[in-house]
Structure 1
């Protein structure tokens, strides 16, 4: 079995956990699913030989474990510094900067106490991850990030827009 095919299998499994993660409003359930998903995605990038992406996502797994327990902004600064060092040490091409930027935005979202803001920042970061996966031609990673984005939109709608509509009445985006 080729490394490419194996990488696509890992991402396919990660899709389930990614989609589930943002259907929970409870922070710990969200992060438990993200820990599993990011671990699989990390392996995927290393199998494809994308050292920068694999390293950034390995740091993401550790960050998700920390976020499971705290939103302490001191950890945000630590992980931002680790990401900068990581990209400096593993940089191979300009496209690495896309996933680096997405990771930084995603990271800022992870340390928000406000679940609504966390989701918005995660949508922006996910859009950059989606772009990166299109460029590196990883079809299942494109599906994964696309579904993660859709899941985030659905979760955001269910937890914030729909609730506002039900309590205040009116149009979703008025």
Structure 2
């Protein structure tokens, strides 16, 4: 099996964790799924020889794990510095800058104390990663980011705009 095909299968595994993540309400469960997914996505990028993206996703997995326990602004700054160093040491052009931008937005998101802010920033960061994955030409990663955005929007809608409960359905029908 080629490295490319293996990388695409790894994304399928990561997709499952990503889809599940934003259906949780508790931030700790969301970031636990993202931690697992980050390790798998890091391997995906390593197989595609995208060193900056691979290292940033590995840092992201560690970052998600840390944010289960702490939202310290000092840790946020620490991870932003780590992202910068990772990008500087693995820089290989525009894709390095793009993955750095996506990772930076998602780092800020991970340190938000509330899931609502996390969801909003993750939408923006994921959109940047989507562009990166289009340019890397990874079909499974493109689908993963699109599904991740969709899952995030569904979860956001369910938890914040109009959760479909029996009470809300009755109010819609009997209005």
Aligned residue for 2:114? 114
- What is the CA–CA distance in structure 1 between the aligned matches of 2:25 and 2:90, rounded to whole Å? 35
1:158 aligns with 2:158: yes
Structure 2 distance, partners of 1:69, 1:11, is 27
Shift of 1:23: 0.5
For the residues of structure 2 that align with 1:65 and 1:15, how far apart are their CA atoms? 18
Please state how far the C-alpha of 1:5 moved relative to its aligned partner.
Answer: 0.4
1:89 matched to 2:89? The reply is yes
Shift of 1:118: 1.1
Per-residue deviation, 1:31: 1.4
Query: Using the alignment, how far apart are the partners of 1:38 and 1:135 within structure 2?
Result: 19
Q: 1:21 — aligned with what? A: 21
1:47-68 CA deviation, whole Å, 9 max, x = no partner?
A: 0100000000010011011011
TM-score, with structure 2 as normaliser: 0.92
- Between the aligned partners of 1:31 and 1:126, the Cα distance in structure 2 is 14
The alpha carbon displacement at 1:3 in A equals: 0.3
Tell me how far 1:114 sits from its aligned partner.
Answer: 2.3
Match of 2:123 in 1: 123
Instruction: Report the counterpart of residue 2 of structure 2 in structure 1.
Output: 2
Specify the alignment match of 1:135 in structure 2.
Answer: 135
Q: Partner residue of 1:11?
A: 11
User: Which runs of no fewer than 5 residues in structure 2 stay unpaired?
Assistant: none
Query: Can you list the C-alpha shifts for 1:61-105, whole angstroms capped at 9, x where unaligned?
Result: 110110111111111000000000110000001121111101101
DSSP 3-state at the match of 1:69: coil
State the Cα deviation string for residues 13-69 of structure 1 (Å, max 9, x = none).
110000000100111211111111111100000001000000000100110110111
CA RMSD of aligned residues (A): 1.6
Instruction: Assess if the C-alpha contact under 8 Å between 2:4 and 2:47 holds in 1.
Output: yes
Q: d(CA) in 1 for partners of 2:10 and 2:157?
A: 29
Give the 3-state SS of the residue equivalent to 1:92 in structure 2.
coil
| Aligned position for 1:33 | 33
Larger radius of gyration, structure 1 or 2?
Answer: 2
Q: Secondary structure at the match of 2:162?
A: helix
Preserved contact between residue 21 and residue 34 of structure 2 (Cα < 8 Å): yes
Name the count of aligned residue pairs.
Answer: 168
Q: What SS does the corresponding residue of 1:24 show, helix, strand or coil?
A: coil
